[in-house]
Amino acid sequence: MGMFRRERLFSPGSASRRMLLKRGAMLGTGAALANRLEAFAAAGMKPSKETATLRQSTPSVDISGTGLKILQWSHIIPSHDTWFDQFVQEWSAANGVVATIDHIAAADIPAAFAAEIAAGQGHDLIEHIAPLAQFEEFVVDLKDLWDEAISRYGESAEHCRLNSFNPTTGKYYAFCHGYAPILSNYRKSLWEAIDMPNGPSSYDGLLDGGARIYDGQGIQMGIGMSKEIDSQTAALSMIWAFGGAIQDENENVILNSPETIEAVNYMKDLFQACMTPEVLSWNAASNNRLLVADQASYILNAISAYRTAQDNQPNTAADIFFSTPLNGPAGEEHALAPAHAAMSYHIPTHAKNPDTAREFILHLLDNYDAALLASRLYNIPAFPATAPGLDDALENDPNGSDPADKLLVLKDAANWTVNLGWPGPTNAMTSDAQTSFTLSNMMAKAARDEMPVSDAVEEADRLLNESAEKWRTQGLMGGGQ
Q: Give the DSSP letter string of 207-220.
A: HHHHHHHHHHH--E
pTM, two decimal places? 0.89
According to CATH, what is the number of the domain 6-179+341-408?
3.40.190.10
Report d(CA 303, CA 190) in Å as an integer. Answer: 19
Residue 53 pLDDT: 58
Contact 29, 23 (CB under 8 A): yes
Q: 325: closest CA among 415, 388, 247?
A: 415
Query: Strand, helix or coil at 38?
Result: helix
Integer CA distances (angstroms), 195 to 192, 205, 270, 423, 432, in order: 5, 11, 20, 36, 42
Neighbours of 304 (CB within 10 A): 23
Q: Is 64 exposed, middle or buried (0-12, 13-18, 19+ CB in 10 A)?
A: exposed
Q: Is 423 exposed, middle or buried (0-12, 13-18, 19+ CB in 10 A)?
A: middle
Report d(CA 417, CA 222) in Å as an integer. Answer: 21
Report d(CA 71, CA 99) in Å as an integer. Answer: 11
Neighbours of 405 (CB within 10 A): 13
Q: List, for the chain, all residue ranges whose pLDDT scores fall below the cut of 50.
A: 1-8, 10-52
Beta strands in 154-219 (DSSP E): 165-166, 171-172, 175-180, 183-187
Integer CA distances (angstroms), 211 to 21, 176, 177, 207, in order: 62, 38, 39, 6
Cα pseudo-dihedral 42, 46, 50, 53, rounded to 10: 10
Residue 390 pLDDT: 97
Report d(CA 366, CA 141) in Å as an integer. Answer: 21
Report d(CA 427, CA 191) in Å as an integer. Answer: 39
Query: Strand, helix or coil at 342?
Result: strand
Cα pseudo-dihedral 284, 287, 292, 296, rounded to 10: 180
Residue 428 pLDDT: 96
Residue 284 pLDDT: 86
Contacts of 117 (CB under 8 A, 6+ apart): 135, 138, 348, 350
Q: Which 8-state DSSP code applies to residue 176?
A: E
In the chain, domain spans = 6-179+341-408, 183-338+420-473
Q: How long a stretch of residues is the chain?
A: 481
> What is the fold, at CATH topology level, of the domain defined by 183-338+420-473?
D-Maltodextrin-Binding Protein; domain 2 (3.40.190)
Beta strands in 378-460 (DSSP E): 380-381, 417-418
Neighbours of 50 (CB within 10 A): 12
Residue 2 pLDDT: 32
Residue 480 pLDDT: 85
Integer CA distances (angstroms), 82 to 35, 37, 38, 87, 99, in order: 10, 11, 10, 9, 15
Report d(CA 302, CA 339) in Å as an integer. Answer: 8
